[in-house]
C-alpha cells in the first residue's frame, strides 16, 4: 500500500483550473508525495508533475536539497520559472506560435512575445495530473497521468501522457515519459525542467559548478531564442563543454548566460540511452551527477531570468541560482524540416527516458 503524502494536508483546486469549462467538471485533488530510499529522497506533486525536492548527502554525510523550488503549493500555481515541472505538449519555443502539419496550419497560444514557450499559457506544467500508481518498497516510484484534449493550446489531437519518477537504484532517479496520440498527428516534445544547484538550494550561484556536455554542435538562435535552422560546431566558442569547464569560466562572453540546445554526439547505447552530461559541485560538497537520456538534444540553461524569486525556506534566487539540463527534441522542429521530427501519429507512442546518477 502506498504511503500517504509526506505533507499532512491535501489541497483542493477548483475545476476552473482543470478545463475550459467550469460548469460540471469534478474537483481534483493536489497533493505532495515522497519517494525515499535510505538518505535519498525525491518529493513530487501532481500539480505540473513537479519535482519539488531532491535530498541527498554531501561528502561529509550532511543532507541537502539540490533543486530549486517553493514552499507549499501556492507559488507553484503561477511558477513562471517552471521549477521542477514537466513542460509540454511541446517544450521550448515554437516560432510565430504556428506550424503547418499535413497541409493544415495550426495557431497556438502565444506566451513569449509572438512565440509559444513550453506549450503555451496553460501547458502541462500548469495542470493537475492524476496519480495512477504510487508504490513504495525497495525501488519506490510514482506514475502520473494527464489527458490533453484535441485543440488544447491550439495543438491538434487528443494525447494521453504518463510520467514515472522512480528511485531505480541507490542514489539514482529515473524518469520515463510516455505519450500516445489518440486521433491526430501532433508534435510532442516533453522536458523535465528542474533547476539544479549541487551545493544546495539557496546556496548561491552555480557559476563554480563544473559541467561537461557530450555534444560538439548546437542549434544557434536569434535574438528571441528561436533556432535559425542551422547546426554549427561549438569548437572555439564559449559553448564548448566537451571537456569539463566551470559554468562561469566564459559566461561573460554571452548575453545573459547559457540558453541553447546542444546536439548530442554520444551514440545510442543499451536501452536507447546515451550519456548526456556530467555536473560537479565546485565548492566542496563533493556532489555530482551524470545525466543519461534517449533524446537527440539537451537544453543547457543557467537561470538567466531568475530575479529575486522567493524560494524554499525564504531563500532568494537570483540570476544563475540554478542550472537546467533539459533533454529534448530540437526546439522549433515543427518549423525546421532538417531537424529530427517530433510528430507522433495516431497509435504511435512517444518515449523519453532520463537517468540521473548522483554521487558525493
DSSP state of 268: P
Distances (CA, A) of 296 to 27, 257, 273: 38, 22, 10
Alpha carbon distance 17, 82 (integer Å): 17
Alpha carbon distance 215, 210 (integer Å): 16
Measured on CA atoms in the order 265, 281, 69, 319, is the torsion positive or negative?
negative
From the candidates 118, 126, 193, 352, give the one annotated as an active-site residue: 193
Alpha carbon distance 4, 297 (integer Å): 37
Q: Please work out, in degrees rounded to the nearest 5, the angle formed at the alpha carbon of residue 85 by the alpha carbons of 98 and 37.
A: 150
Q: Kindly report the three-state secondary structure assignment for every residue of 226-261.
A: CECCCCEECCCCCCCCCCCEEHHHCHHHCCCCCEEE
* H or E, element range at 74: helix 74-78
DSSP state of 83: T
First to last CA, the chain: 32
* H or E, element range at 326: strand 324-328
- Omega before 182 within 30 of 0, i.e. cis: no
From the candidates 34, 152, 172, 326, give the one annotated as an active-site residue: 326
Alpha carbon distance 120, 92 (integer Å): 10
Residues contacting residue 115 through CB under 8 Å, at least 6 positions apart: 93, 94, 95, 96, 97, 224, 226
Residue 193 is a catalytic residue: yes
Measured on CA atoms in the order 255, 257, 259, 265, is the torsion positive or negative?
positive
Catalytic residues: 193, 326
Amino acid at each position: 500500500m502506498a504511503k500517504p503524502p509526506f505533507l499532512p494536508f491535501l489541497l483542493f483546486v477548483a475545476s476552473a483550473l482543470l478545463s475550459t469549462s467550469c460548469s460540471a467538471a469534478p474537483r481534483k485533488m493536489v497533493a505532495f508525495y515522497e519517494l525515499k530510499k535510505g538518505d535519498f529522497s525525491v518529493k513530487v506533486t501532481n500539480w505540473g508533475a513537479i519535482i519539488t525536492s531532491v535530498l541527498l548527502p554531501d561528502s561529509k554525510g550532511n543532507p541537502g536539497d539540490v533543486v530549486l523550488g517553493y514552499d507549499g503549493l501556492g507559488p507553484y500555481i503561477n511558477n513562471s520559472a517552471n521549477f521542477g515541472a514537466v513542460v509540454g505538449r511541446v517544450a521550448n519555443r515554437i516560432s510565430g506560435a504556428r506550424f503547418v502539419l499535413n497541409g493544415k496550419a495550426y495557431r497556438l497560444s502565444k506566451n513569449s512575445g509572438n512565440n509559444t514557450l513550453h506549450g503555451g499559457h496553460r501547458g502541462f506544467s500548469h495542470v493537475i495530473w492524476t496519480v495512477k500508481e504510487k508504490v513504495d518498497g525497495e525501488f519506490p516510484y510514482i506514475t502520473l497521468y494527464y489527458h490533453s484534449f484535441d485543440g488544447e493550446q491550439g495543438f491538434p489531437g487528443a494525447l494521453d501522457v504518463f510520467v514515472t519518477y522512480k528511485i531505480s537504484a541507490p542514489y539514482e532517479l529515473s524518469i520515463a515519459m510516455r505519450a500516445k496520440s489518440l486521433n491526430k498527428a501532433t508534435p510532442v516534445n516533453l522536458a523535465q525542467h528542474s533547476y539544479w544547484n549541487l551545493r544546495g538550494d539557496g546556496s548561491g550561484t552555480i557559476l563554480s559548478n563544473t559541467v561537461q556536455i557530450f555534444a560538439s554542435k548546437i542549434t544557434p538562435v536569434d535574438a528571441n531564442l528561436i533556432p535559425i535552422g542551422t547546426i554549427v560546431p561549438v569548437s572555439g566558442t564559449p559553448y564548448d563543454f566537451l571537456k569539463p569547464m566551470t559554468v562561469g569560466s566564459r559566461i561573460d562572453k554571452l548575453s545573459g548566460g547559457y540558453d541553447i540546445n546542444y546536439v548530442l554526439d554520444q551514440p545510442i547505447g543499451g536501452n536507447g540511452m546515451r550519456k548526456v552530461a556530467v555536473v560537479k559541485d565546485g565548492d566542496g560538497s563533493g556532489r555530482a551527477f551524470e545525466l543519461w537520456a534517449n533524446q537527440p538534444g539537451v537544453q543547457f540553461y543557467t537561470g538567466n531570468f531568475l530575479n529575486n524569486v522567493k524560494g524554499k525556506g525564504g531563500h532568494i534566487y537570483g540570476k544563475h541560482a540554478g542550472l537546467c539540463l533539459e533533454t529534448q527534441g530540437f526546439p522549433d522542429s515543427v518549423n525546421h524540416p532538417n531537424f529530427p521530427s517530433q510528430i507522433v501519429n495516431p497509435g504511435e507512442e512517444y518515449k523519453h527516458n532520463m537517468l540521473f546518477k548522483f554521487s558525493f
